[in-house]
Amino acid sequence: MARFLFLALVCCTLAGTPALAQDSIRAGRGLVIAQQWCSSCHKVVDGQPSTSDVAPTFASIAQRPDRESAFLRAWLLDPHQPMPKLELSRSDVDDLVAYIFSLSRSPQR
């Protein structure tokens, strides 16, 4: 019985690994996009000097309980003032959202 439970645990752990690796890859690409397109207004990484008193930091966006991934995707695909229209692809937006939520202490919502 113990052997079966151990095998079940190993299988479940390995089954989740590709998804975690994919999230990590997306977050890495999102960081690159954030540094290229967002860092002139938003603080996207720790240690970056603040560039705007108006634009929230990415870490603060990630910590807000009312910010779900669907909301962020919609916001980034059709931004409102004062954000500029960035013309990001859906894949870019998914990567950017993955990066933002990688800064959160809780899983992506």
Dump pLDDT digits (tens) for 48-87: 887 788 889 999 999 988 878 899 999 898 877 888 888 8
pLDDT band, very low/low/confident/very high, at 90 (cuts 50, 70, 90): very high
Confidence check: pLDDT of 2 > 70: no
Q: What is the pLDDT of residue 1?
A: 46
Nearest one of 82, 79, 108, 86 to 34, comparing CA atoms:
86
Is the whole model's pTM more than 0.85, yes or no? no
pLDDT for 8-48, tens place per residue?
Answer: 444 444 445 555 667 889 999 999 999 999 998 899 998 88
Residue 94: helix, strand or coil by DSSP?
helix
CA dist., res. 50 & res. 37, Å (int):
15
pLDDT at 39: 92
- Given pLDDT bands bounded at 50, 70 and 90, which one contains residue 108? low
